[in-house]
Structure 1
Amino acid sequence: MADSDNSMTLPFVTRRRVLVGGMITSIALVLEKSALAGNVAATSALPDPALTLWREWETAYKLSERLCRSQQRLETRLVESIGFPGVTVRLPEGEDVMVHSIGALNEVLGKGPDMAALREKAASDLAAQQARWDAAAEEAGYTAALRAEREAGERAEDLLEAFSTTPATTLAGVAGKLDAVLRVGEAWEECSEFPWPQIRSALSDLVRIAPQMMPEQFVHDLQARTIFPRRRRG
């Protein structure tokens, strides 16, 4: 087999858990609206670069999640109709092993001459199944959906990285940074592992203290608002 064949792998299966629930206003947006409601002059001030970045990131993040759900639906249909590319290899000891890539095949059978015939037959069968999957994926629109989801995800990741070098000039901008970190970083909602409880606490403190520090800029029901829903465990 050519070297290029060795790069053939099991089709990408995203394991990212997508957001659930209805649309709820995030803390960053609540802070922004509160500031504008309490201080009309804020509309003429220079925009907070962190808050501007947060708006761009949230748009990209929501698009990525929407495309993720779309490609997952298409992937499920493909798996149900033709299954993932894979071949069952019977080892000399009599054990059957399912492999999904050339790399896995070489790991199972090794590269010794005594396994050459079995290895070539399995590689040929795997290549045929991969070609069948690729053709079906292209026809079903899965290939295009997967590419779009990856591009949107990379865009959201690039914007997330930019938060570390973008200074906030308002409390809304600070909240936007924390909001993005929580929504992307937590393994599940209300995750108890470090540093997520501490970050949630800091964000809660920000919402609690901001009206006390600048009462003329924030509406009174700020503390009753809820942040955007995040991943739920399971």
Structure 2
Amino acid sequence: MADSDNSTTLPFVTRRRTLPRAATATVGTQQEALAHSDLERDQPADPAVAMWRKWQAAYEETEQLSREQQRLERKLAETVGFPNMMIQLTDGKTATVLSLEALRDVLRAGSVDVAVGAKAEADFAAHQARWDAFDQVIGYSATLCAECEAADRADTLLESLAETPATSLAGVAAKLDAVLREGQPSKDDAEFPWPQIRSVLEDVGRIGGQTEPN
């Protein structure tokens, strides 16, 4: 029977985009499994291992850049303060705006006294200018951009890893490792399917250790 054209290919793993991103470490028995399966050794014959190494480099670069941009953002916030403002509306209520464009939307709606609005816009613009100037000095936006680019590379390589057939236990372990590190919320997460995947990875390591030559 001919293959159906209605099949759907699901992503290997959906990357969590929330910032700051928390790195999910491969620890304990997972590290032992990877060691037993020779994943960290030179195995150029398995294309999945080679692809895993490329993915891991991009993944680790993303994590490093994420930590750096968070550090720079904290420095910006502590030195300049996040651009935001609470403004008094004509009906007696107040509104908090988080960007100059949002403030201008409020002003265009006629909800703020003209004189109050003009001063608020000037003050917010000055604050934003201080933020932008210090951003340029420390490189926050550039680091954030580099992080996004590295994350995109890691996503692309992750999909390539999913499409690359493994030819050894090391290749199987590589794919399982990538799934855990990208998708597992925490190293001991008890929700399906994470304990099951960890168990399979341990099995791969155990079998790999048994089949290694002395």
Confirm or deny a common fold (TM above 0.5).
yes
Alignment partner of 1:195 out of 181, 193, 196: 193
Within 5 A, what are the aligned runs for 1:1-234?
Answer: 14-18=19-23, 25=31, 27-32=33-38, 47-101=45-99, 105=103, 109=106, 112-115=109-112, 117=114, 122-211=120-209, 215-217=210-212
- Contact 2:76–2:135 under 8 Å retained in 1: yes
Distance in 2 separating the partners of 1:119 and 1:202: 62
CA shift for structure 1 position 51: 0.5
Q: What per-residue deviation string (whole Å, max 9, x for no partner) do you get for residues 6-29 of structure 1?
A: xxxxxxx9321246799x957435
Which runs of 5 or more residues in structure 1 are unaligned?
A: 1-12, 37-42, 220-234
Distance in 1 separating the partners of 2:137 and 2:158: 34
Give the number of aligned pairs: 195
Q: TM-score, normalised by structure 2?
A: 0.73
Which structure features the higher share of helix residues?
A: 1
- Contact 1:28–1:173 under 8 Å retained in 2: no
Q: TM-score, normalised by structure 1?
A: 0.68
- Contact 1:61–1:156 under 8 Å retained in 2: yes
- Contact 1:19–1:65 under 8 Å retained in 2: no
Secondary structure class of the residue paired with 2:38: helix
Change (3 A) 1:104 1:111: same
Change (3 A) 1:146 1:94: same
Identity, in percent, stands at: 42
Distance in 2 separating the partners of 1:53 and 1:119: 56
